[in-house]
Amino acid sequence: MQEALARLLEVISIKNPPLSNAILVAVSMESIEMAHQMAQRLKIPMDFLFTETITAPLNPECAIAVVSEDMEIVANESLIAAFCINLDYVYGEAQRKYEEEISQSRYKFRKGEMFASIKGKDVILMELGIQTGLRANVAVKTCMNMGARSVSVASPVMPKMIYDSLSEICDDVYCISALDYYVSTAHYFPQLQPLEDEQIEEILNHYITHKGQTHAAN
């Protein structure tokens, strides 16, 4: 992971984005550790956008949509049509995931704090690996709707097709490898170990505390 981090920082450095008003946002649990290290290296604040995957009714392995903590939804319309899934199911599952998963995670890991105010900020969304693009797209949509000045995506590896589609909707995409044939994030990071809940809380609490001190100073 350290090699991937160093190379990704190199890509960002070459493109030289504005960082004076930037915030790094991790969009998956497996991304938190790298995002934390990246934020420290870039000397910018960090937050985490909680999202949950919505799967097909009869296939829990098949992601058909993702909902964010701002209740934005991005769906794979082709899969939904192919499986003849009613949109009421998607919206119902989105509401259930928000109430049962996202709200609880926000209280557990972020002490109930709402997602950072990103209005007028330059947002860099960070994901360890992008497979379907649903989570990245819902994060982009959420940040745009919250008034971010710019939205970019950073990820060490993603499919070339996803890279091209993100390039059309984002201000920039920072990526080491855009592959024609993408296997899985676990394949490219076989040594990756999931963080314990306490480690996640510690990382996010670092930025919550810093944010509180900044507000107090203002």
Specify the pLDDT at position 212.
45
Is residue 42 within 8 Å of 6, Cβ to Cβ? no
Q: Could you tell me if 64 and 167 lie in one domain?
A: no
Q: pTM of the prediction?
A: 0.89
pLDDT digit string (tens) for 145-195? 999 999 999 999 999 999 999 999 999 999 999 999 988 888 888 887 888
The answer as to whether 133 is a domain residue is: yes
pLDDT above 60 for 77 = yes
Q: Going along 87-192, which residue ranges are E strands?
A: 122-126, 150-159, 172-179
pLDDT digit string (tens) for 196-215? 888 888 888 877 645 544 44
As a 3-state breakdown, the chain gives helix, strand, coil percent values, each rounded to 5, of 50, 25, 30
Residue 178 domain boundaries? 2-51+118-210
pLDDT digit string (tens) for 82-141? 999 999 999 999 999 999 999 999 888 888 788 878 999 999 999 999 989 999 999 999
**Domain harbouring 43, CATH code:** 3.40.50.2020
Q: Could you tell me if 32 and 58 lie in one domain?
A: no
For 26, 40, 98, the CA distances from 45, given in Å and listed in that order, are 11, 8, 25
The answer as to whether 45 is a domain residue is: yes
Our count of domains for the chain comes to: 2
